[in-house]
């Protein structure tokens, strides 16, 4: 199928929360979230079987997450993307490549996570190349904030991990600062709290683009700690990718 075959199932005036064809639609500027409650991962319309859940935010065109869903069919994957043109491409890839263990969330990441992702049910979170919004006046648009970190901590299981990938050095420092400051996370790497390679991590449009331009890629990894009173105690053992 082609991306254009996915049609947004409502107009702006009649927008609503909707679960259809493996996509959760959470419209912008919609506030009636209390009227739509889901035990999301256990619904048969979401996943065919129970399995560990991994979320990717900023899924873009879906190249990375579709590859991972096919590579690890023993996991359930969730791709979150706020641009509908990109959601269409993820949807098309999922259908054409048979990634039946991939669920798509269309909407703003924090809103969707806060209202629809159940607490302590997620094993892994990935954020691949979030927009750094480098100008100060645009900082409010950045995904990586204290609020986002708190929502990720809420949905992660104890010991669950978050991996954040960026080519932007300044944004890497912001990302590290946000998660170091959160009492529920411990860095998986010593200072300077990032590495420049993860074996078999996979690729995406932006990964190929920035590497092709000679940019250095930074991998920041944190793990949820059981004792929130301990900010930077001994971290859990670093898991192998895909384990």
Active-site positions read 131
Compute the distance between CA of residue 69 and CA of residue 114 in angstroms, rounded to an integer: 24
- Tokens standing for residue 122: 């997620």
Compute the distance between CA of residue 232 and CA of residue 131 in angstroms, rounded to an integer: 27
Compute the distance between CA of residue 88 and CA of residue 84 in angstroms, rounded to an integer: 6
Query: Is the CB of residue 5 less than 8 Å from the CB of residue 21?
Result: no
167 assigned binding-site residue? yes
131 assigned binding-site residue? yes
13 assigned binding-site residue? no
Kindly write down the DSSP assignment for every residue of the chain, as one continuous string. Answer: --GGG---SS-STT---EEETTEEE--TT---GGG----GGG-TTT-SS---EEEEES-TTSHHHHHHHHH-TTSEEEEEES-HHHHHHHHHHHHHHT-TTEEEEES-HHHHHHHHSPTT-EEEEEEES-----SGGGGGG-S-SHHHHHHHHHHEEEEEEEEEEES-HHHHHHHHHHHHH-TTEEESS-TT--BS--TT----HHHHHHHHTTPPPEEEEEEE-S-TT-SSSPPPPPPPTT-
81 assigned binding-site residue? yes
**Binding site feature residues for S-adenosyl-L-methionine:** 56, 81, 108, 131
Annotated binding-site positions: 56, 81, 108, 131, 135, 167
């Amino acid at each position: 199928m082609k991306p254009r075959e996915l049609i947004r199932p409502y107009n702006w005036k009649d927008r609503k929360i909707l679960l259809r064809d493996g996509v959760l639609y959470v419209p912008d500027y919609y506030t009636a979230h209390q009227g739509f409650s889901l035990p999301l991962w256990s619904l048969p319309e979401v996943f065919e079987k129970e399995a560990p859940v991994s979320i990717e935010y900023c899924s873009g065109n879906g190249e990375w997450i579709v590859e991972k869903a096919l590579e690890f069919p023993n996991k359930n994957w969730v791709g979150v993307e706020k641009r509908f043109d990109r959601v269409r491409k993820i949807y098309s890839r999922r259908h054409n490549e048979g990634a039946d263990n991939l669920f798509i969330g269309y909407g703003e990441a924090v809103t969707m996570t806060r209202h629809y992702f159940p607490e302590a049910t997620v094993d892994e979170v990935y954020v691949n190349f979030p927009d750094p919004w480098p100008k100060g006046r645009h900082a409010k648009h950045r995904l990586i904030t204290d609020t986002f970190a708190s929502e990720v901590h809420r949905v992660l299981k104890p010991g669950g991990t978050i991996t954040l990938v960026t080519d932007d050095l300044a944004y890497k420092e912001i990302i590290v600062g946000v998660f170091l400051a959160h009492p529920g996370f411990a860095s998986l790497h010593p200072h300077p709290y990032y590495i420049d390679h993860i074996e078999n991590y996979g690729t995406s449009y932006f990964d190929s683009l920035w590497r092709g331009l000679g940019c250095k890629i930074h991998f920041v990894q944190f793990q949820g700690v059981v004792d929130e009173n301990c900010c930077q105690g001994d971290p859990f053992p670093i898991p192998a990718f895909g384990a």
